[in-house]
Every structure is written in C-alpha cells, then in structure tokens.
Amino acid sequence: MSIRSKETGAPVETARYSQDEFLNKMYDSTVKWLKKGKDAEVIAEVQPQRVDHWTSHEPLPGRSVQLGMEIERAVILKDRDNDYAVVLGRHRQTTYDREDTLGLQFGFAPQPKQESPKLWTPSNPSHENYDPVKLARLLVNQRMGYGSGELYVNDVLRKVDIDFWADHRRYGGQMIRDWPIDRLLTDKGIKNCLAIIERTVERAFL
C-alpha cells in the first residue's frame, strides 16, 4: 500500500522526515560525502555555542545589523586543495523574521597559497591564531555565496528553503527549491540536495 500526501493526494516516494530531521540528515550526509568522496579530513569540531556576530543584514540602505547563530553542530575539514565548513544551527535570515530557525550552512574555499594574501586563518589547528569558529563563519558567509549556500527553515512559509546558486537550471541544477514538501523531505530530497553541494564544489572558483 503506497503512502499518499495529505496535501496533494499524490503518492509519497519515501517516508517523509520532519524539517529538523531532514536538515540533520543533510548535515550527516554532507560530512560523509566530504570524508569519503573528497577524502577530506576533519581538523576541528565546533562545540555547541552562541555566536553573536555570525552574519549581517541590511534592513535599510547604509544600515547593517549583526545577526547571531546558535551553533548545534559544526565541523571544519580540509583536503589537499580546499577548506570546508559544515554548520548546523539556529538563526534568523533577516531582522524581520519572527524566530530563530534551523539551517544547514555549507562553505568552502581554496586553501591560501604562500604567495597569496591570507583572507582567513590557515586551516591548521596548531597555528597560534587558529580559530575554527572564525574560519567556519568566513567560509559559509562568502560574499555573493560563491562557494557557499544554505538550506534553512523559512519561518513564514514553514518550508525548507534552498539558497544555493548551483540549484538554478542555468548552472545545471533542477530547482529543487520548488519541489513539493512531501517530495523534498525524503531520502530522494537528501540525495538531490547533496548533489547541489557537490555541484557547488565542482564549479565554484573556476
């Protein structure tokens, strides 16, 4: 007997997860892919904590407001070429949001070369200035989201939104953000969202 959506009556392909379950499974799947698919090594795990100045929002031209993040799980990884950050936490996207909601943030960037300006602390835990929280914040909050993106619970629409340029069709994406919720919050949705992250790594910084 097939399971059908209460909203549309259409068959549901697999069991549907809650929004928080989906994002936690996306976190696990992303870290697993980086370890096995990219041969990346975990160099730091960030303990749960509140970071007051995580990102900024401009509610009015010329006015910037700092927004915090309640980190639940976060990890820094590196392979031969790149630094990676995967962060799961609760925060507001803008000052207009009513509440903090769960989001998965991903970011990566090529490791700084010796001859290049150092835009962030080198990914070396033994370095005297190494700060995994600072590195994670820089990697997942890149300007224009070039090597980063986020999946998060939209507190107005009560759905999981996808904010990755690699989800757009012009970049080979499938616009997974437009999928019905019963299709998105499934194992198939996790597989396709992971493909967005893989495409981000493959095509950014070219």
Instruction: Kindly report, residue by residue over 134-175, the tens digit of the pLDDT.
Output: 889 989 988 777 899 999 998 777 789 999 999 999 999 999
Instruction: Please give the model's pTM, rounded to 2 decimal places.
Output: 0.84
The Cα 140–Cα 143 span in angstroms is: 9
Query: Rounded mean pLDDT of 14-38?
Result: 95
Q: Which helix (H) or strand (E) holds 107?
A: strand 101-110
Is 180 domain-assigned? yes
Is 12 domain-assigned? no
Q: Which domain holds residue 65?
A: 19-203
* DSSP classification of residue 141: T
Is 5 domain-assigned? no
Pairing of strands 82-91, 148-154: unpaired
In the chain, the number of structural domains is: 1
Beta bridge partners of 173: none
Task: Assess contact for 34 and 57: CB atoms under 8 A.
Answer: no
Is 13 domain-assigned? no
Amino acid 184 reads L
